[in-house]
Amino acid sequence: MTASVTAKSSYMEDAGAAFSSYGLWIMAFKRSGQAFVAAIVVLLAILTSASAEPLRVVGFGDSLMAGYGLGPGEAFPEKLEAALRKKGHDVVIANAGVSGDTTSAGLSRLDWSVPDGTQLVILELGANDMLRGVTPDITEKNLDAMIASLRQRGIAVLLAGMVAAPNLGSDFASTFNAIYPRLAEKYGLQLYPFFLDGVAADKGFLLADGMHPNAAGIDRMVENFMPDMEKALAAARTAGGAPAD
């Protein structure tokens, strides 16, 4: 009888210890589960915050980008941003245009003009090279170097092309005009072939100098540019500016 009681007592102690260990395990599991859920909540909050950030764009170019002769808020980047926001795009476009810039000048200031965190650059340079008779090979090398640098930083590029003035001759024009399509093909870029398309030959859209767009001209440029810009934004959101395979 004593042995039976002792055995039963030992069994109860073992069972109690087992249930106690099981209870501790359950508590630990619950705590780890709570910690896991908390970590997921924090991660989702971070991802939601990141996705809520506007897509950051830089308009990098010359006087055509800077808004030469125009009033506040009338330059191309500002009006393009307004048009995109009106269509529901959460985007911020910084104006990094400098009047008179050649591709050489642009290359020299690229790194500090395009801040970290930029996701897309509208690259619009070459008009002043053309007007000054810069050898097209130099223009192409400078543009190539800028594109390569931006892609290396993971920044997508929308290339805005330029067309040579007719008075520069057919040889110069054929060489110069081929620069932008060739670079777009090389890097797999979205190309807008002629930045002044629909404006250059219409005095109603130009300032008195006959070269720079007026406010109405900028509106026309933005309207024409929008389809390519929206494609570039979609690509920047999904793939960024990673170098093509």
CATH of the domain at 154: 3.40.50.1110
Average pLDDT over residues 173-186: 98
Residues 96, 217, single domain; the answer is yes
Residues 95, 131, single domain; the answer is yes
Give me the active site residues, please: 63, 209, 212
Is 245 within a domain? no
Residues 154, 125, single domain; the answer is yes
Contacts with 30 (C-beta within 8 Å, 6 or more apart), sequence order: none
pLDDT mean across residues, the chain = 86
pLDDT of 238 reads: 83
Q: Which of 11, 32, 52 is the last residue of a domain?
A: 52
pLDDT > 60? residue 27: no
pTM over 0.75: yes
Is 181 within a domain? yes
Q: Could you give the number of structural domains in the chain?
A: 2
Owning domain of residue 2: 1-52
Strand residue runs (E) in the chain: 55-61, 91-97, 120-124, 156-160, 190-192
Residues 42, 78, single domain; the answer is no
Q: Which of 15, 34, 52 is the last residue of a domain?
A: 52
Contacts with 92 (C-beta within 8 Å, 6 or more apart), sequence order: 54, 55, 56, 57, 81
